Structure 1
């Protein structure tokens, strides 16, 4: 057995007597354990929130989105679309016109994000049938156009779905010259019947109205311009490979984005919050580990006689220093292992039984989302290792100085 760890273990777990130093050491373990458990739990919650956001966004977002690198729209043609459809791995190409519009229905009004999509949008299967709360998932029936409306928009406007007696009046403000004084020339207006209501995620439900592409093209006067193209790839194809091929075909004039890149600001913010939370809890872990410093300092003073005996038996300053470093490591890692077990157990209970709820009846999930990642456990152990070394270094050096040159 390693001699420094053997002696450190005897100091820590000796049953001969329990003095004040032992009590401080136990309190140090408890502090490290609870701080470690809190760190694991909070990081797992952030992982769960990120995973939940990805699953919700990915259900509505295209697998690959093509948009202009400069400006909000770009021109398309049959030849241009044909080139994209021929790219290996591409299954569907949906044309999109997206802009803000003003909706009036009976006595209610709202500013919405109007999204005109081509007829193959339903084939993309991005709005699951179970997400349709009223009406049907369709944009056209014969020559009749239908709007698919988010649940929040429907609630605000109090829509009567599939009621031809009351159509949604959609207005779009034109970009006109300042000299135009006729109000009717400042906007365009078209009517459409609400045919279905979907519910996916709050910010989408409260803003989006989906309409046929031809309807949006006429209302917004976009002609052959599109704001984006949404790509569905063939099953089994690698998204990154298809994305790379499309980018090579289109060049720097277009941005070809995967699902994470479409919400890069949101995910970057979530990662920053996780990082700052990790740093804050690491500081808490450091504060909790200060007891280790005082415990080792008192132990070094208490064991001066033992140090002298070890020195007389041939122990040098390096051995004495390693004994106290090992003592600090035993205290810290014993607490950390207990904390990791407690944190992992709590996360498992939350995953299995949802013991802590979100506290809202309208929440997407009843319990706080949790996702356990082994990287968090490794990072936490790494932080404990660094803090332990820094905390234990000074007492270890002090104890090694008790070895006089004559004894060496």
Structure 2
């Protein structure tokens, strides 16, 4: 019987995984500069957390979650996104009591959604996200957006488009909600069943419908920007001012609606305009969610964050033909001739690695010529040749593979010799 990988998942093999490591390390370094600290939450949570935190009317909760009963009959869900878990931990561990606020967190890890697999979109995918909890300052909104843009630009992406919108405060959203219901209700039977359900649950979600996006009522739907009160307008203008001060270009799109129920005030998406990237251009999305901590049993806490798929980021890099500066070379390859030399090479290799050198040797009993070919495949900077004759004289021949020069050094000094050269 042969086994195959489940649909919508992938094996990331050596040669490819180094790209992931580079991107993830770049994200970690950037978060450190912005003073966001890593949080690691469980891969599964109680289903109710996502139902309340993500929103009952969302496609994620209604159609895409991997949910099962554990042995005691409790409903458990593999996490479909990272924000709800992060805020749950923030509340449960009372991070809001720390004297220094806001609490700035980031995460990198696998998420799970049952959706149709396509280029850059999988059922198990890796998400990087940040959350800033505890501040109502529009400057933190601009900081979060700037961090996301900074990551893409640091990795070399140029075909980027930042789109922002305001969903307003509770008062503004209530007025907009009533206007949306009045707009869609007379002809709601012309829309899909999902939209008919959303009309009373969360009519804003109708604007995000993929099936009915070409319906004429979508074009004439009232814009949230028409219903922003003075406080919401001032807040949104401040965010724009800060982005402008950071030299970050953006477009205001009144039609931008994030797919999760907990958003208010600032919402944003970053898209790729790269040729050949695909029909789905969104790379990253996020926004402010001032009521989420309260919804899951915590104190009233403002928050803002974003999440992005590492898979889609790598796909964007490929679309723009950007080569990451990844090297697979090693410092030294030890070539041996003779049984005694082969035995001595085992401990020599161990000593090299303990000294911080990236080193390798042959384990297939190859001839000397084949060992040199193996050294080439490893892109070895130096090759150390040890035969029984050299072992008897307590020396080892070290060859610089770039220049072709070779010299003998004592076995005891070979590590310090290589270290000084490298």
TM over 0.5: no
Q: TM-score range by the shorter chain?
A: under 0.3
Which has a greater percent of helix? 1
Taking structure 2 as the reference length, the TM-score comes to 0.24
Greater length-normalized contact order (CA 8 Å, ≥ 6 residues apart): 1
